[in-house]
Amino acid sequence: MATLHTKAAARAMMSPAVILLLIWMAVPLAMTLYFSFLRYNLLMPGMEEYTGFLNYEFFLTDPAFPIALANTLMLVGGVLLITVVGGVFLAILLDQPFWGQGIVRLLAIAPFFVMPTVSALVWKNMLMHPVNGLFAWIARSFGAEPVDWLSSMPLFSIIIIVAWAWLPFATLIILTALQSLDSDQKEAAEMDGAGPVSIFLHITLPHLARALTVVILIETIFLLSVFAEILVTTSGGPGNASTNIAYLIYTQALLQFDVGTASAGGVVAVILANIVAIFLIRMIGKNLET
Amino acid sequence: MSRTATPQRKALFTLIGWTIGLVLFFPILWTILTSFKTEVEAVTTPPTFFFFDWTFENYLAVQERSNYFLHAMNSVIISVGSTALGLLIAVPAAWAMAFSPTKRTKDILMWMLSTKMLPPVGVLVPIYLIARDWGVLDTRIALVVVLMMINLPIIVWMLYTYFKEIPGDILEAARMDGASLRQEIVSVLAPMAVPGIASTLLLNIILAWNEAFWTLNLTAAKAAPLTAFIASYSSPEGLFWAKLSAASTMAIAPILVMGWFSQKQLVRGLTFGAVK
Amino acid sequence: MTIRIRGLATGGLLTGALLATTSLASAETLTIATVNNGDMIRMQKLTDDFTAKNPGIELEWVTLEENVLRQRVTTDIATKGGQYDVMTIGTYEVPIWAKLGWLHELSMPADYDVDDLLPSIRDGLTADGKLYAAPFYGESSMVMYRTDLFEAAGLDMPDAPTWDFVADAARKLTDKDNELYGICLRGKAGWGENMAFLSAAANSFGAKWFDMDWNAQFDSPEWNETLTFYVNLMNDAGPPGASSNGFNENLALFQTGKCAMWIDATVAASFVSNPDDSQVADSVGFALAPDNGLGKRGNWLWAWTLGIPASSEKVEAAEKFIAWATSKAYLELVAENEGWANVPPGTRTSLYENPKYQEAAPFAAMTLSSIQAADPKNPTVDEVPYVGVQFVAIPEFQGIGTAVGQQFSAALAGQITVEQALANAQTLTEREMKRAGY
């Protein structure tokens, strides 16, 4: 149906976005690539020289690197698990009629509007702090020993903080999908004597497949570069227990001002992110076909 | 009709719903409450909930110390500006992808998304050097452009999936009637596309509002938005909980209110093509 | 070789038109980057006094949290971004930046009285006899303790305690069931966080970062002793979650009566003895940081200073501002408006000789002795090749210090042993130093 005329028009309409993104991607990436082969530290001007793959070697042989890689994957995986499962549950709940449903929905989506730095500060000092925090107070009221969240399970604590912020996003998308579910289908199944569990498994869940795919894809993109929450709460520690790749690059780029190694780290991170993306698209991309 | 809830069922869901809603909202509520406490009360254990001496001194202190309205205005200009500029570029692109798809459309979309994966901290120095050479450090225009760029892939993708749901038959019919490309867009497409564009707009304003890396690193005094305002209240040396809470409340209030008022709009287009 | 992106400069023309407004800004507007600590906030409030005395100069403030500020100003000065005319920097940055030629040499007016500046602070800001930054306030570290608890337990804190006494008292005073902890110390990882405390404490145990040939020294018995002492003490007498506690967390604990002792920055003294903020204000005592009989005390030395980046084009106005903010007259101005207790401490000898200050600030004498007890040029028992008490003034230190801090924080959290932490610290320091070409 597309005529030659519309094809040309389509290309013309697409080109600004494509060209801009090409520049946006290519220029910094090219510079990053260039820097990654230099010995270049902002604090030691005048000493820049070509070093080959030394920066890559230095970044990849850092004992913290494999830990950071594992932490990055755990962080993404953990948050996805909580937000997807919690999001489905919450969406189903919010889809039921009950008193004050509109207000509860407003309360539940509110975390999405909070800046990452603010939420990390609040969680760390007002909620999770083992002495002054509210959780510690609750634990003590029940006579239990307060949990020292950020030292004894740093990564898990960060997963909770990040998941709290992203749960509303997942819920909203799943809720939208849920509301488009044909209730005739459900009623027919109920007539046939299907229980709520089997309705959920055989009708609701397949219907949500696309929505879940979208949630996973978008969240992964953002979660791969989680950074502010880690900086504010644990500074990547204790040890390297909560260091992810983005934070590891930060220590090179902004603590050491070692632009060379940070650039090498950036290139490595892009490669890793693309591997994850390809993997994701292979795994769930078919859900996106129309 | 099994969907008609019995009163017991409704009461049960009310209880569960409110419990979960309040738990999720609690950290924010707690921040708001703390902003009305004195600094000493803010760190007292056992914590005080509603029965403390409510004070506005923190808000006054924040107001005296920083120019909240300048920062808020910068946040508005940067988030709305970058989103508007992004839409201007993304709408035609998404329209073309949705209605004249080629074999490479999917690949282009995926490639666009992958540009979001470059870790910002890794490219800080290159971008900073470019901004310096162009003389745009600490200007709103630089942030508008940078934030537009980082959110453009999301904007294109959201619009694409939304546009794809507009039935092709309608366009076909309009074309049969001899409508020009312009008419096609103005009178047929636009009315149907508005909800999708609106929710894209809202989501991106939220994302840009909360962006805390570039907004902090490319600004100094003139263009600094609310993220920088917050960074002047958290400190490794000095107790500040109540004041930080007041500043935080002021920083998230505009976006929270906007989000709540436009919730319906936001949800309607947040489908990313997920509804099928 | 300079790294510039000339190819892209042409593209700047596009945006250039949009920027006309900013380039028209008055030539005499000073942009001042500063930390959001209490003393700087007061300085910002008193801006009117300066602008009244210096018509034609306007001030624009960029107030940020310490770590964000450091990252912003370092990026800017290293890339010659030129966004700031006056920068607030620490005693760690000044010697490094001065050597790189990034800072303007300061020439102060005659009535400024440079000789009044405390020698141990001024030394760290001078290179080849030239002053590169002027101190705004200075601090050391000392012991703050609860006189009521010590009295009740029949303990008597000496003015100059030893580590053994402190450890003993801490263990005796701990009552975990009632949420009372004998000692609160920093544990959060970072070169300016736990490593500030630990490097300074290590000095008093005879440990050091590097020997004269720049070899890392974490495999030395002295470091083992320091870290073992610290971890054991904190496990026995410290609060839970100590490995993520920094200055603020400990301040909150101490002010709410949960710590019997706290060793930290001298500026904390004015917070904990202020009844508006502190629940224990009337029962706080002060003592010098502990020693171990080796002739060095475990206290650090730090000052926030004001400097002018070499790229600034408004040097004259910037110098006027710095002279105003660090002058004797400024101290009096603050005293007039906010009381003597709130005057920025630790920079001028004359302040400590002022009877009004001595009266208003009960911690003044102890602060001065602490500052005088620190010697950045000879920080440890042995001779070392570096300057700095709780830091090593080389560009690599921020990164190394933070990485080592993470290891020590992990040891405190019980995730690894003291031996493992030291071995890891040794390996990573050797690695970074080798890369840096030492």
Query: Which of A36-60 are b and which e, b meaning 16 or more Cβ less than 10 Å from the residue's Cβ?
Result: bbbbbbbbbbeebeebeebbbebbe
Q: Which domain holds residue B27?
A: 7-60
**Same domain, yes or no, for B22 and B106?**
no
Question: Do C230 and C311 belong to one domain?
Answer: no
| Residue contact A101–B17, C-beta within 8 A | yes
Closest CA in chain B for residue A169: B270
Same domain (yes/no): B20, B75: no
DSSP string for A156-197 = HHHHHHHHHHHHHHHHHHHHHHHHTS-HHHHHHHHHTT--HH
CA distance A44 to A42: 5
Q: Is C285 inside any structural domain?
A: yes
> C210 and C115 in one domain?
no
A9 within domain boundaries: no
Contacts of C236 (CB under 8 A, 6+ apart): C170, C171, C174, C182
Helix residue ranges per DSSP H, C267-394: 268-272, 315-325, 328-338, 349-353, 355-360, 364-373
Mutate one of C10, C44, C63 to test the B interface: name it (highest B CB count within 10 A): C63
Same domain, C292 and C306: no
- Cβ atoms of B235 and C66 within 8 Å: the answer is yes
Assess if residue B81 is contained within a domain: yes
The residue among C88 and B267 whose pLDDT is bigger is C88
Domain count, chain A: 1
Q: Positive or negative CA dihedral for A251, A255, A261, A266?
A: positive
Residues 56-95 of C with CB under 8 A from B: 60-68, 71-72, 75, 79-84
> Per the structure, how many domains does chain B have?
2
Instruction: Give SS3 for C347.
Output: coil
The confidence score (pLDDT) of residue C120 equals 87
Within 13 Å and on the Cβ side, how many CA atoms surround B221?
A: 18
ipTM: 0.82
Residue B214 within any structural domain of the chain: yes
- Whether residue C240 is preceded by a cis peptide bond, meaning omega within 30 degrees of 0, is no
In a domain, residue C56? The reply is yes
Band of residue A289 on the pLDDT scale cut at 50, 70, 90: low
Amino acid in the structure at residue B89: I
How far is CA B165 from each of CA A81, B105, C284, C327, rounded to the nearest angstrom? 29, 16, 70, 69
Q: Considering CB atoms only, which of A13, A106, A266 is closest to B96?
A: A13
Q: Do C32 and C61 have their domain in common?
A: yes
List the CATH number of the domain containing B258. 1.10.3720.10
Q: Is the pLDDT of residue C327 over 70?
A: yes
Same domain, yes or no, for C88 and C236? no
C243/A189: higher pLDDT? C243
pTM of the predicted protein model: 0.83
For residue B232, the model assigns a pLDDT of 80
Q: What is the pLDDT of residues C366-384, one digit of tens each?
A: 999 999 888 888 889 999 9
Residue C241 included in any domain: yes
What's the one-letter identity of residue C375?
Answer: D
**What pLDDT, in 10s, does the model give residues A1-60?**
445 566 677 777 777 777 877 787 778 788 888 888 988 888 777 777 888 888 898 888
* pLDDT tens per residue across span C303-313: 999 999 998 88
Residue C208, token pair as written in the block: 């050091």
Is C10 inside a domain boundary? no
* A41 within domain boundaries: no
Binary contact (A115, B149; C-beta < 8 A)? no
Is the per-residue pLDDT at C10 higher than 50?
A: no
Residue C226 CB: number of other CB atoms within 10 A?
26
Q: How far is CA A262 from the centre of its chain?
A: 21
Domain that holds residue C176: 141-300+382-436
C190 and C220 both lie in a single domain: yes
Same domain, B87 and B110: yes
Specify the long-range contacts of residues C364-368, CB closer than 8 Å, at least 24 apart: C366/C142, C366/C159, C366/C266, C366/C269, C366/C286, C366/C287, C366/C288, C367/C139, C367/C140, C367/C142, C367/C266, C367/C269
Judged by a CB distance cut-off of 8 A, whether residue C33 touches chain B is yes
Give me C22's structure tokens: 């900013």
Total domains in chain C come to: 2
Q: Identify the residue with better confidence: C302 or A210.
A: C302
DSSP 8-state secondary structure symbol assigned to residue C55? T
In a domain, B276, yes or no: no
What are the C-alpha distances in Å from C291 to residues B142, C143, C219, C266, C419?
53, 12, 22, 17, 23
Comparing alpha-carbon positions, the chain A residue that sits nearest to C71 is A254
Q: Are residues B27 and B82 in the same domain?
A: no
Helix (H, G, I), strand (E, B) or coil at B229: helix
Best of A43, A57, A140 to disrupt the C interface by mutation (most C CBs within 10 Å)? A43
Mean pLDDT across chain C, nearest whole number? 88
Q: Which structure tokens are listed for B274?
A: 């997920």
Based on the fold, state whether residues B128 and B254 are members of the same structural domain: yes
Pair (B39, B80) in one structural domain: no
Q: For residue C162, list its beta bridge partners.
A: C291
Asked if B17 lies within 8 A of A35 by C-beta distance, the reply is: no
Report residue C142 as tokens: 């000392």
Alpha helices in chain B (DSSP H): 7-34, 39-42, 57-65, 68-99, 105-114, 124-133, 140-164, 168-176, 181-183, 190-210, 214-217, 226-231, 241-261, 263-269
C130-163 residue pLDDT tens: 999 999 999 999 999 999 999 999 999 999 999 9
Cβ–Cβ pairs < 8 A, chains B and C: 131
Residues C272-295, mean pLDDT to the nearest whole number: 89
Mark whether B222 and B249 lie in a shared domain: yes
Question: pLDDT at residue A290 above 50?
Answer: no
Question: Do B276 and A290 lie within an 8 Å CB cutoff?
Answer: yes
pLDDT value, residue C17: 39
Residue C381 burial (C-beta neighbours within 10 Å; 0-12, 13-18, 19+): middle
Q: Which of B60, B75, B102 is the last residue of a domain?
A: B60
Is the same domain home to C326 and C414?
A: no
Domain limits for position A133: 83-235
Q: What are phi and psi of C29, to 5 degrees?
A: -95, 120
pLDDT in tens, C185-239: 999 888 888 999 999 999 999 999 999 999 999 999 999 999 999 999 999 999 9
Task: Output the domain CATH number for residue A165.
Answer: 1.10.3720.10
* Least confident stretch, A31-35, A78-82, A249-253, C400-404: A249-253
Indicate whether C387 and C266 sit together in one domain: yes
Of A26 and C97, more confident:
C97
A148 at C interface, C-beta within 8 A: yes
Domain containing C271 — which CATH number? 3.40.190.10
pLDDT for residue C4: 40
Residues B75 and B103 reside in one and the same domain:
yes
For chain B, list residues with pLDDT below 70: 1-5, 45-46, 168, 171, 185, 189, 235-239, 266-276
pLDDT digits (tens, 9 = 90+) for A209-224: 878 887 888 888 888 8
CA B86 to chain centre: 13
- Note the pLDDT tens digit of each residue in A249-279: 888 777 778 888 888 988 888 888 878 777 7
Do B163 and B215 reside in the same domain of the chain? yes
DSSP state of C277: T
The residues, any chain, with a CB within 8 Å of residue C342's CB and separated by 6 or more, are C38, C39, C42, C270, C334, C335
pLDDT at residue C9 above 60? no
Which of B 144-183 lie inside 8 A of A, CB atoms? 149, 152-154, 156, 161, 164, 172, 181
Shared domain for C387 and C342, answered yes or no, is no
Residue C249 lies in a domain: yes
> Which residue, among B207, B218, B212, has the nearest Cα to B255 in the 3D structure?
B207
Are residues B184 and B74 part of one domain?
Answer: yes
**In this predicted structure, what is the pLDDT of residue C15?**
42
Tell me the average pLDDT across C380-392. 91
Note whether C37 and C162 are same-domain residues. no
C351 assigned to some structural domain: yes
